[in-house]
Structure 1
Amino acid sequence: MNRKWWHGKVAYQVYPKSFCDSNGDGIGDLKGIISKLDYLKDLGVDIIWLSPCYVSPLADQGYDIADYYRIDPRFGTMADMDELITEAKKRDIGILMDLVVNHCSDEHEWFKKACADPNGRYGKFFYIEKRRPDGSLPCNWRSCFGGPVWDKLPGHEDLYYLHTFHKKQPDLNWENPDLREEVYKMMNWWLDKGLAGFRIDAIINIKKVLPFKDYPADRSDGLSSINNMLSEQTGIGAFLGEMRDRTFKLHNSFSVGEVFNERPEEIPEFIGDDGYFSSMFDFSETVFGRSPLGSYADSGITPDDYKRCVFQTQRRIGDIGMISNIIENHDESRGVSRYIPEEDVTPTSKKMLAALYFLLKGLPWIYQGQEIGMENISFDSIDEVDDISTLDGYKVARAAGLSEKEALRAVEKSSRDNARTPFQWDGSENAGFTTGKPWLRVNPNYTEINLADQRNDPDSVFNFYRQLTRLRKNPDYQETFTYGELVPYLEDRHNVMAYLRKSESQCILVMGNYQKEPQTLPLPSAPKKILLNNLHDLKIDGGCVALDGYQVIVAEL
C-alpha cells in the first residue's frame, strides 16, 4: 500500500443542522462549528466531514441540493465557509464537503430548465421518459423512500423523470458527458477553495442498467427494490475513474465513498493504490439483518454477528487499501443502541464498543455525539418524526398489519432521527445546543449524557475516546495501528471479540468481553504493557485474563 498523507488520521462527521447553533434560531450553523474547532482538535480530530450545507429546500435534509455554489442562509454565508476552512487549517484539520451528485433538487436551475425544455441541453441532464406502449411506467423500480422511481415531469402530462430517492431529488444523467463536465467544474471550484476533499454520497447509483427494464416484484406494491438493478449494474468504473483523474488527483485530495454492493474483485479498483477513492465506508454490519420487506421486519444484530461482519471486511480488504470504520452516521441509528443489547447499554459497554471498532485496521470515524455515548431517542407519536425514510417505513409497517404502536416501535430502532437530535453539550436547557427552539427535539437524556459532565470525568466515555485517539497517534504505536496486520483471535469464542494488530517489531492485543457476565480467556502471550483498560481492575493469572462484563483491554505483548 502506497503511503498517503491521510493515513493514520482520525475523522469526524458533523451534521451541521444539529451540531451547534450560534444565533439562536434553533438550527446549527457554520459559525457554531467554527466555535467548536478547538474542542474537536482536543478530541484528536484531523478531518471533518460536513453533511450538506448548500442551498436546499431540505426535502431530504440538504441531500437535495438546489445550488452547489452557495451556502444555505440557514447555515451562514460563503464567508463563513471560507473562515471555517481557514481556521481548521490553522489547527491542521482538513474539511470535507458532502458531494451529492447522483441527484440534485427539483429546485435546481438545471431541473427548472429541463422542465421548460425537455428536449434541450438541460433535459439531457436527467432521465426523462414516456410511459411504455402498454401504459406502464418505464420500469418498476422502487425508490429508496418508497413508491415508484418515476414522477410526472412538471408541466408535461406525458413525460416522467427518474428519482432514485425522494421525488424532489431528480437523478442526474451521468451518461451525458456535458453533465459530467459541470460536476467536475463544481468539484474543482471547491477544491481550489481549500477543501481537503469530499465524502461522496450514493455514488453507486450514478450508473443505471439501460435500457430501463422491470425486475421481479418483491413487495405487494408490485415494485422491485432498486438494489436489484444495482446488483446487475456494470461499467461504473469509467465514470469514477474519470472523476478521480479530473478532480481528486489534481489536488492530492482525500475522498471517501458511500459504496454499497461492490464486488470483491472490484475492491482494488475502488480503494487500491490508484483507486477511484482514497477510502470507502464499511457498511457490512450496518446493513446486517435488514429485510427487503421494510424496516419493521429487520432483525437485530448479536455480538457474534457484529464480530463476523467486521472480520469479514478486514479479510476482504487486507492490504489493498484503507477501509473507513464506523459504528454510526447521519443515516443510521446510534451505534451504542444498535450494537449493544438495550439492557446492557452503560458507559462501560460504550467504551468497549469504542475500542473494538476504533483500533481496527483502517480509518476510524466518529459521528458527532458518539464520543459522549449519545443514544437513540423514543417517539411518543409518528408526528414527532422528521425523517422521510422513517415516515415511509412506518407506512410500510402499517400496511403489513402492525398497529400504530407496533409500527412506531419497529421504525424507532432504525430511524435516522436518532442520529440527528441536537448535540448534547451540557445540562442546560436544550442541552446547550441553542438558545432558541431546536429544529428537532433534544433527547431527554441530555441531563445525564452531555459533554460538560464528561469533560472533567477521567472515567467518562468522552475521555476514553480521547485516550483512543492519542493511542492511535502515539509514535510508539502509530505504525502498528495504521499499517499493521489485523489477525482475529479467539474468533469462535461466544461473545468475545479480540484481535491482534501486528507489525514487524510489535504485537498489540485488543480484547473485549462482549457480554455482562465475566469471562476468563487465554492470552496469546504475556502482556508487556497494558495500554488501555475501560475498568480499573485487571486480573491476569497463569496465561489467562479474567474480564468483567463488557471489559476491554489493549495490551502490548
Structure 2
Amino acid sequence: MSKHWYDQQTIYQIYPKSFNDSNHDGIGDIPGITAKVPYLKQLGVTTLWLNPIYQSPQVDNGYDVSDYYQVDPSLGTMADVETLIKVVHEHGMHLIFDFVLNHTSDQHPWFQQAVADPHSKYRDYYLWQDPAADGGRPNNWGSFFGGSVWDKDPAGGDQYYFHLFDKRMPDLNWTNPAVQQAMRDVAEFWVEKGIDGLRLDAFIHLAKADFRQMYPSQSGDSTPIISDMFYAHLPKVHQYLHDFVAAIKANHPETYIVGEASSADPHLMVDYTTPGTDECDQVITFRTFADDNSNDDPSFSDMFQPRPMDVTAYKQHTVGIQAALADTSLPTLYWNNHDMARVATRYGDANYPKQSAKALATALYLQRGTPIIYYGEELGLTNIRYQKLADFEDQTVPTFVKSAQAAGKTMPEIMTMLNKTHKMAGRGPMQWDSSTYHGFSDHLPWKHGQTDQMNAADEIDDEDSIYNYYRQLLQLKRQAPFTDGQFIMLGSNDQLFTYLIDDGTEQAAIICNLSSEMQYYTLPFAGDATLLAQGGASCTERQVTLPAWSSIVVSPRTTVSA
C-alpha cells in the first residue's frame, strides 16, 4: 500500500458540546477545543475528529444541518474554526470534520423552498412520493428513529417526504446531479479552509430502492419495519461515493476520507476501501462488537438490556476484519463513540476499573489499524447517570419503558439499564479536574447527571493512571513492529485475547486477560523483552501469568542499549 500521512495516525473523537466550555454557558465550544490541543498532543493524538459543528437546530445534536457554510453559534464563529485549524497544524496534528451528506435539517433553505414551492428546483433535492393506493404512506419502511420513513408534506400537499432518521431530517435525493454538486461544493469549501479530512456520516444510505417495494410481514399490514435491504449498501452508493471523493482528491489528493459504514461486513469494507477506486481510505463498522445475550430477559424488550462482551465472538469478528483488509486498507480500531455507551461502562469491570480499561485498550489499539479514541476514554470515563427519561432524547425509550414496566421492572431498575446502555449517557461532559462540574464549565452543563470522579488533572499526576497508560500504549504503537506489522490471531480460551504483530523483521505478542479470574498462557516464542505490562502480568520464558484484567506485550527481540 502507498504511504500517506493518515497511514500512521491516532484519532481522537471530540463531541464539541461536551468537551470544554470557554464562554461559561454550559456548552462546549470551538475555543474550548483549541485550548486543549496541547493536552491532546501530550496524550499522543495525531488527528482530531469533530462531530458536526455546522449551523443546526440541534434536533440531533448537529447532524441536522441548516447551513453547511456557517458554524453553529452555540459552538463559536468561523474565526474560531480558523484559529483551531491553525493551532492544530502548529502542533503538527491534523483535523477532520464530520460531514453529513445523507440528509439535512428541515430548516435548511433547500427544504424550506421545496415545501414552499412544489415547482421549485429544490423540490427535487429531496425524496417525495405520492400516497399508496389506499391514501396512506407509500410503503412500510421503518425509520431508524422509530415509526415510518414517510411524513406528509408540511405545506399540506398530498405527497410524502422520506426521512431515514428524525422527521425533521429529510433525506437528500442523490439521484439529482445538482445535489451531488452542491455537496461536493460544501466539502471543497471546508477542505479549502484547511481541514485535513472528512468523516462521511451515513454514506451507505445515499441510494434507495424502488419506493413501491413493500417489506413482507406476517400481518401484511403497514406497520413500519426497519430493513437495510432497501436503503443500505445499494450498488449506486459506490458511484455516488466515487464521484464525491474523486472530485475532492483531484484538487486535494491527501484529503483523508473515512466513512461510517455501520452495518458493513468485512467484504463490504473491502469494497469501500479498495485502493484506486476513489472511495474511502478507511471505514468504520459497528460489526466489530459482540455482546453476550444469553442472559437477556425475554419478558421485555432487549433494546436497552445491558450485556457483557462475548469474547469469543468478538475475536471472530476481529480476525474476520483483519484477514479481509490485510492487503487492502487499515481497519479502524475503536471501543466507543457518540452512538453507543462508553466502553468503561459497557465492557469494563467495576471491581477492576483501572485494570479493565487498560486491558481493553491493549487488546485493541496495538492491532494493525488506526486507533480512534473517544474523548475521556483515556481517563476511564464512565457513562453519566440521568434522573429523567427526557434526558435521553430518544423516542424509542418510552416503548422500552412500557415493555419493561409490563414485565414488572421498577423505574429505578429501568433507569439503571438505560444509563448503562444508552448513547446519550455516553455524551456527558469531559472531566478535567475536581472542581464544580469537573472543570468542563462553571455553568450547569447542557447534559448533567451523576458522575464518577475520575479527571484529567489527577490522572496526569498519577504515574499508574489510565491516562498515563494510554500515553505509553500510543508511544509503543508508533514503534516497530506495530507501525507496519500484520495481525495474527493466536489461539486461546474464551477469557483471553491474544495476538501477534509481525512486520517480517520484528514481532510482538499481545496477551490480554479480559476476565476477573487468574489466567495462564504459553507464548509461541521465548519472551525476551517485556514492552508493556499492567495489572501484575508477567512472563518467564514462554509462560505468561495474568491476574484479573491484566495484559502484557512481549517481544522475542533482544533490546540493545545505545
Q: TM-score, normalized by length of structure 1?
A: 0.93
Counterpart secondary structure, 2:242: helix
Gaps of 5+ in 1: none
In 2, Cα distance between equivalents of 1:393 and 1:301: 23
In 1, Cα distance between equivalents of 2:25 and 2:302: 35
Deviation digits for residues 529-551 of structure 1 (CA, Å, limit 9, x no counterpart): 1110113x444346311111111
Counterpart secondary structure, 2:243: helix
Instruction: Give the partner amino acid of 1:250.
Output: N
In 2, Cα distance between equivalents of 1:427 and 1:297: 32
1:261 corresponding residue in structure 2: 263
Q: CA deviation at 1:555?
A: 1.2
1:393 corresponding residue in structure 2: 397
2:559 corresponding residue in structure 1: none
1:318 corresponding residue in structure 2: 326
1:17 corresponding residue in structure 2: 17
Deviation digits for residues 174-200 of structure 1 (CA, Å, limit 9, x no counterpart): 011011110001100110111101111
Contact 2:140 2:224 (8 Å CA) reproduced: yes
Instruction: Give the partner amino acid of 2:114.
Output: A
In 2, Cα distance between equivalents of 1:247 and 1:538: 48
In 1, Cα distance between equivalents of 2:306 and 2:519: 30
In 1, Cα distance between equivalents of 2:225 and 2:147: 10
1:490 corresponding residue in structure 2: 491
State which of 457, 461, 465 in structure 2 corresponds to 1:460: 465
Q: CA deviation at 1:231?
A: 5.5
Say if 2:382 is the partner of 1:375: yes
Say if 2:304 is the partner of 1:303: no
Say if 2:243 is the partner of 1:238: no
2:546 corresponding residue in structure 1: 547
Q: Residues 516 and 261 of structure 1: is their aligned pair in 2 closer, same or farther, counting only changes over 3 Å? A: closer
Q: Residues 318 and 397 of structure 1: is their aligned pair in 2 closer, same or farther, counting only changes over 3 Å? A: farther
Instruction: Give the partner amino acid of 1:370.
Output: E
Counterpart secondary structure, 2:59: coil
In 1, Cα distance between equivalents of 2:425 and 2:116: 40
Deviation digits for residues 172-228 of structure 1 (CA, Å, limit 9, x no counterpart): 000110111100011001101111011111111111012442113499982211424
Q: Residues 227 and 266 of structure 1: is their aligned pair in 2 closer, same or farther, counting only changes over 3 Å? A: closer
In 2, Cα distance between equivalents of 1:294 and 1:183: 38
Most deviating of 298-307 and 118-127: 298-307
1:338 corresponding residue in structure 2: 346
1:327 corresponding residue in structure 2: 335
Q: Residues 298 and 435 of structure 1: is their aligned pair in 2 closer, same or farther, counting only changes over 3 Å? A: closer
1:434 corresponding residue in structure 2: 441
Counterpart secondary structure, 1:308: helix
Say if 2:473 is the partner of 1:472: no
Q: CA deviation at 1:247?
A: 1.1
CA RMSD for the aligned pairs? Answer: 2.2
Counterpart secondary structure, 1:481: coil
Instruction: Give the partner amino acid of 1:465.
Output: Y
Matches within 5 A, 1:114-263: 114-217=114-217, 222-230=223-231, 233-251=234-252, 252-262=254-264
Deviation digits for residues 225-257 of structure 1 (CA, Å, limit 9, x no counterpart): 142424673321110111111113431200111
In 2, Cα distance between equivalents of 1:404 and 1:56: 37
In 2, Cα distance between equivalents of 1:186 and 1:231: 23
State which of 278, 282, 292 in structure 1 corresponds to 2:281: 278
Deviation digits for residues 97-121 of structure 1 (CA, Å, limit 9, x no counterpart): 1100100000000000000112320
Instruction: Give the partner amino acid of 1:363.
Output: T
Most deviating of 288-297 and 155-164: 288-297
Instruction: Give the partner amino acid of 1:295.
Output: M
In 1, Cα distance between equivalents of 2:290 and 2:214: 25
Counterpart secondary structure, 2:168: coil
In 1, Cα distance between equivalents of 2:419 and 2:439: 25
Contact 1:295 1:410 (8 Å CA) reproduced: no
Instruction: Give the partner amino acid of 1:469.
Output: L
In 2, Cα distance between equivalents of 1:117 and 1:315: 52
Contact 1:398 1:404 (8 Å CA) reproduced: no
1:70 corresponding residue in structure 2: 70
Q: CA deviation at 1:91?
A: 0.6
Counterpart secondary structure, 1:185: helix
2:560 corresponding residue in structure 1: none
Deviation digits for residues 471-520 of structure 1 (CA, Å, limit 9, x no counterpart): 1123xx2xx213211111124x1201010000111111110011111112
Most deviating of 53-62 and 520-529: 520-529
Q: Residues 125 and 338 of structure 1: is their aligned pair in 2 closer, same or farther, counting only changes over 3 Å? A: same
Counterpart secondary structure, 2:288: helix
Counterpart secondary structure, 1:483: coil
Contact 1:149 1:164 (8 Å CA) reproduced: yes
Most deviating of 394-403 and 207-216: 394-403
Deviation digits for residues 417-440 of structure 1 (CA, Å, limit 9, x no counterpart): 122100010111000000111110
Instruction: Give the partner amino acid of 1:445.
Output: D
Gaps of 5+ in 2: 557-562
In 2, Cα distance between equivalents of 1:346 and 1:253: 38
Q: Residues 255 and 19 of structure 1: is their aligned pair in 2 closer, same or farther, counting only changes over 3 Å? A: same
Say if 2:455 is the partner of 1:450: yes
In 2, Cα distance between equivalents of 1:2 and 1:268: 16
Most deviating of 267-276 and 423-432: 267-276
In 1, Cα distance between equivalents of 2:401 and 2:217: 18
Q: Residues 44 and 232 of structure 1: is their aligned pair in 2 closer, same or farther, counting only changes over 3 Å? A: closer
Most deviating of 371-380 and 395-404: 395-404
Most deviating of 61-70 and 414-423: 414-423
Contact 1:8 1:472 (8 Å CA) reproduced: no
Aligned length: 545
Q: TM-score, normalized by length of structure 2?
A: 0.92
Instruction: Give the partner amino acid of 1:246.
Output: A
In 1, Cα distance between equivalents of 2:464 and 2:276: 43
Say if 2:55 is the partner of 1:55: yes
Instruction: Give the partner amino acid of 2:530.
Output: I
Contact 1:102 1:206 (8 Å CA) reproduced: yes
Contact 1:296 1:397 (8 Å CA) reproduced: no
In 1, Cα distance between equivalents of 2:418 and 2:118: 39
Contact 1:421 1:443 (8 Å CA) reproduced: no
Counterpart secondary structure, 1:3: coil
Instruction: Give the partner amino acid of 2:455.
Output: N
Q: CA deviation at 1:399?
A: 4.5
Contact 1:334 1:376 (8 Å CA) reproduced: yes
2:507 corresponding residue in structure 1: 507
In 2, Cα distance between equivalents of 1:201 and 1:334: 20
Q: Residues 232 and 472 of structure 1: is their aligned pair in 2 closer, same or farther, counting only changes over 3 Å? A: closer
In 1, Cα distance between equivalents of 2:222 and 2:428: 32
Instruction: Give the partner amino acid of 1:207.
Output: A
Give 4+ residue runs of structure 1 displaced > 6 Å after superposition: 218-221, 289-293
